[in-house]
Amino acid sequence: MPTTALATRSEETSIFASSDKFEMAGRMATALAKSTIVPKEYQGNASNALIAIELANRMGVSPLMVMQNLYVVYGRPSWSAQYVISAINGSGKYDFELQFDEKTDKSGKPFSCQCWTERNGRKVTGPVIDMDMAKAEGWLGKNGSKWQTMPQMMLRYRAASFFGRMNCPELIMGIYTKEEVIEIGPDSYEEVPYTPTSQVEQEVKEDIAANANSVAFDETVVDPEPAPVKDVEAVIPKPEPAAEAPKSSKGRPKKSEQKPEPMPAPEPEQAVMDLPPADDDGPEWE
């Protein structure tokens, strides 16, 4: 299911979506807290029951199933390993239930386990969990650890929880199993202390002052706007006169440097009219 669809579904089913849903969930939590069948963490504690109802709505399961499989270890919620396996197998997300690929050491004792299944014909695997990892992580040395007495069962539980967190975290909501929380121990959780806002602001100021550049820089002087120029000739230089042509010894330009005088344009010829010759005696009159 896409992430957007999951977010939309969570908003629709959340008990905090509206006041009516929250009021109804509160009545359910009060009723469940009065039961003696639910685990002791919920008996007489309607607030814990309300959280269980919220998780059940988001996961689409029964609130009683969540309450029966959600444990509080060192003040933190944790699933049972059996519930993780049943949630994966009953989700319908995969083609078939989880398979456990187990291997033994030279002496025949359980050594490693890997969970796998298929989805749409594609193999989906989880990380390999072996006894070397259990020893390196300190799981074997815990007081009352089941790794020494039931190594095969612990390998299967841990391989299933790792498979769920890697491939389908939406089914287990990112919550560790009870066995993991016990092995982690209360000292491994780091509490983030609350810091007031005023103290944070003061620390930021001190950090800025400590890391500020200590080199002094000269201030940049900006020239004022220039005054308008009244005398243009004082700003724009006059053009230099052209150099005179070299003269000969007699004071005349050299022939090679004399320019030919332009020829006058020819005058247009006047049209001559053919007139009859004039008689000396003048015209004859009849």
Question: 91 and 56, same structural domain?
Answer: no
Question: 44 and 9, same structural domain?
Answer: yes
Q: Does 59 map to a domain?
A: yes
CB atoms within 10 A of CB 66: 24
pLDDT value at position 222? 54
Residue predicted with more confidence, 68 or 191: 68
Question: 179 and 122, same structural domain?
Answer: yes
258 vs 231: CA distance, rounded Å:
41
For the ranges 32-41, 48-57, 67-76, 92-101, the maximum mean pLDDT occurs at 92-101
**Which residue is listed with tokens 């929250």?**
22
Question: 80 and 22, same structural domain?
Answer: no
Amino acid at 76: R
Q: Does 169 map to a domain?
A: yes
Whether the pTM exceeds 0.85: the reply is no
217 vs 232: CA distance, rounded Å:
39
pLDDT value at position 126? 95
**Tokens found for residue 105:** 């050491």
19 vs 217: CA distance, rounded Å:
61
Structure confidence by residue, pLDDT tens digits, 174-206: 888 888 888 876 655 444 444 455 565 676 677
**Tokens found for residue 166:** 């890697």
Examine the fold and report which residue of 144, 174, 189 is the final residue of a domain before the chain moves on. Answer: 189
**Tokens found for residue 254:** 């050299």
Question: 101 and 183, same structural domain?
Answer: yes
Examine the fold and report which residue of 149, 166, 189 is the final residue of a domain before the chain moves on. Answer: 189
Give the side-chain half-sphere CA count within 13 A for 234: 4
| Crossing angle of the two packed helices 151-167 and 81-89, in degrees rounded to 10 | 50
Q: Does 253 map to a domain?
A: no
Q: Does 45 map to a domain?
A: yes
Question: 167 and 148, same structural domain?
Answer: yes
CB 156 within 8 A of CB 134: no
Q: Does 258 map to a domain?
A: no
Of 56, 46, 158, the closest CA to residue 102 belongs to 158
Question: 82 and 165, same structural domain?
Answer: yes
Examine the fold and report which residue of 189, 216, 247 is the final residue of a domain before the chain moves on. Answer: 189
pLDDT value at position 172? 86
Question: 2 and 80, same structural domain?
Answer: no
**C-alpha separations of 57 from 20, 22, 29, 61, 149 in Å:** 15, 12, 13, 7, 38
Question: 171 and 101, same structural domain?
Answer: yes
Number of compact structural domains in the chain: 2
pLDDT value at position 95? 95
Confidence check: pLDDT of 223 > 60: no
Beta bridge partners of 72: 77
Question: 185 and 78, same structural domain?
Answer: yes
CB 243 within 8 A of CB 232: no
pLDDT value at position 55? 87
Structure confidence by residue, pLDDT tens digits, 13-25: 788 878 888 899 8
Domain of residue 79 covers 74-189
pLDDT value at position 71? 84
Residue 259, C-beta contacts closer than 8 angstroms, at least 6 positions apart: none
